[in-house]
Structure 1
Amino acid sequence: MNWNKLQDNAQLAQIKQESAEQPVLIFKHSTRCSISSTAMSRLERNWSDSAGIKPYYLDLISFRSVSGQVADEFGVDHQSPQVLLIQNGECIYDASHFEISFDELKQQVVSA
């Protein structure tokens, strides 16, 4: 799995543009939380590039303001860990904690 780093608010405009061509995943990760580490590990173990989802990783401890902007920009409540699936500039799905599942992400892409 090749993570793209999300470290700047300006990248959100780029992500919205990219999501018109392919689904984009934002994974908000707390480096201080064991649940977040477990969720990330499960996601990475089950990941397949064949789903066509471009993954972004946000270290929300280091980039707290970006995390807040993600919540505002896509109209979701902040959670940690959290995934947001972006298509056509909008969040079509979000999940947090142990609800984070690659299989569920794939199903959301197919149904969107």
Structure 2
Amino acid sequence: MIELKELQSNEELEQVWENSQQNPVLLFKHSTTCPISAGAFKQYQSFLEASDENLDGYIVKVIESKDISNQIAAETNVKHESPQIFLIKDKEVLWHTSHSKITAESISRELKNA
């Protein structure tokens, strides 16, 4: 099981980029008011609970932490969407997707390809 950590500052986001040099990172952007995001978040949680991968899991609540969400879009050059997930390794985005494409299976598949 992978512990899920919520990002609440831009400094914590900077640490995520640094951490990606030791372990792959999954970063999930979540809207707490959207049912599609709730479904994707369940898939993300399911993956984290079942996984024995050596990686770090993070969440950003896009309404509550809009500045962090905007910083992610700026640093990755990936247009903001919610829900949205990123696989980051060595400070590079290896994969990202959004909405109904976020499934436990798609996350697992992309980790194997990383």
Other-structure match for 1:26: 27
Q: Matched residue pairs, number?
A: 112
CA contact (8 A) 2:47 2:108 kept: no
Which deviations, in whole Å up to 9, do the C-alpha atoms of 1:7-57 show, x marking residues without a partner? 111122211111111110111000010000011112212333312221101
Give me the TM-score of the superposition, normalised by structure 2: 0.89
Tell me, which stretches of 5 or more residues in structure 1 are unaligned?
none
Paired with 1:104 and 1:16, the residues of 2 have a C-alpha distance of: 22
Unaligned runs of 5+ in 2: none
Aligned amino acid, residue 37 of structure 1: A
% identical equivalent positions: 32
Match of 1:12 in 2: 13
How many angstroms apart in 2 are the aligned matches of 1:57 and 1:46?
14
Q: 1:96 to 1:59 in 2, by over 3 A?
A: same
Kindly provide the amino acid, as one letter, of the partner of residue 92 in structure 2: E
CA distance in 1, matches of 2:87, 2:63: 21
Alignment RMSD: 1.4
SS in 1 for 2:85: strand
Indicate conservation of the 8 Å contact 2:46/2:104, yes or no. no
Whole-angstrom CA distance in 2 between matches of 1:75 and 1:54 = 22
Question: Which residue number in structure 2 is paired with residue 94 of structure 1?
Answer: 96
1:41 aligned residue: 42
